[in-house]
Amino acid sequence: MPAQPRPHRGAPLRSAVVPARRRVLAGLGLAAAAPLLAACSGNEDDDLAAQAGNADGKNYIAGDGSVAEYAPDKRSEPVEFEATLFDGETITGESLRGAPALLNFWYAACAPCRVEAPHLVALHDQFEPKGVQFVGVNVRDTATTAQAFERRFEIPYPSIEDVRGEVLLAMTDYVPPQAVPSTLVLDAQGRVAARVLGAAEESTLKALLTSVVDESEQ
C-alpha cells in the first residue's frame, strides 16, 4: 500500500512564473532522457488550461527528451499554485519551500509514465530521507484510476488532481501544455532548478537532485 501523504498547508496563491534562461545540463556524461515524449494531441485552444484538461490521450508525438538546468543566479521566482491532492489535502507552491522538491507530471495510460515510475520510486527512497519532497501532478485521471496506478507501482508519495490543468498552466514557462511526462526539480526556495521533458533517466534525475540537495546544505 502507498504511504499516506503528509498534510500540506499554505495560503492560496496566484500563479506567477517568470521566464528563466535555460542552459543544457552539462558535465553529467549521461545520455539524454528517453526519446519519446508522451503527449496528448488535443485540439488547439486559446485556453491553455482547457488544452491540458481536454487532451484525448490517444496519440503520442515525438519529443526531444531534453534536460535543462538553471544556474542559481538565473532561476526565476518561486513557483506559485494551489491545488488538491487525491486524498483531499491542499498543497501550494509555498508549502513546498524550505527543502528541494520534485514535481512529476503524469497520467495512468501514458506509456512513458509507466516506464519511469519504478525509477521515481527508487529515487524517492534514496532522497526522501535527505528532505526532498516528491509530488505527482496527474493531468487526466479520476482518483480511482490514479490510485490503481499508484498501487500497481507502489508509489509512496502523493499526487495532485489536475484534470483542469491549473497546475500545468502555472508551469507553462517550463512544461508545454501537452508534454507528459515531464519532471521539474525545485530548489529549497521553490524555484525551478531543472527540467526534464519526457521519461526521465534515473541517473539524470539522481544527478539533478544531488545538485539541489548539495545547494541546500551549503
All domains in the chain, ordered by first residue: 23-216 (3.40.30.10)
pLDDT digit string, tens, across residues 100-112 = 999 999 999 999 9
Beta bridge partners of 184: 103, 195
Task: Determine the pLDDT at residue 141.
Answer: 97
Residue 193: the pLDDT is 98
| Higher pLDDT among residues 88 and 62, named by residue | 88
pLDDT of 179: 87
| Average pLDDT score over residue span 101-127 | 97
Query: Whole-number mean pLDDT of the chain?
Result: 79
* Lookup: cell for 176: 508545454
Q: What is the largest CA-CA distance in the chain?
A: 46
When pLDDT is cut at 50, 70 and 90, the band that residue 21 belongs to is very low
pLDDT (average), residues 176-192:
94
Report the pLDDT value the prediction gives residue 54, as an integer from 0 to 100: 41
Predicted confidence (pLDDT) per residue in 168-180, tens digit: 999 999 998 788 9
Specify the higher pLDDT residue, 206 or 56: 206
Residue 64 is predicted with a pLDDT of: 58
Percentage of the chain surpassing pLDDT 90?
66
Residue 199 predicted with pLDDT over 50: yes
Buried b / exposed e over 156-169, threshold 16 CB at 10 Å, is bbbbbbbeebbbbb
Determine contact, residues 157/8, Cβ cutoff 8 Å.
no
Q: How far apart are alpha carbons 137 and 170 in whole angstroms?
A: 12
**Does 31 score more than 50 pLDDT?**
no
pLDDT tens-digit series, residues 37-77: 334 333 333 333 443 344 444 333 334 578 999 999 999 99
**Cα→Cα distances 184→7, 50, 80, 178, 208, Å:** 21, 21, 14, 15, 10
pLDDT of amino acid 74: 95
What is the chain's alpha carbon radius of gyration, rounded to the nearest angstrom?
A: 16
Higher model confidence: residue 26 or residue 153? 153
pLDDT tens figures, 128-147: 999 999 999 999 999 999 99
Q: What is the pTM of this model?
A: 0.74
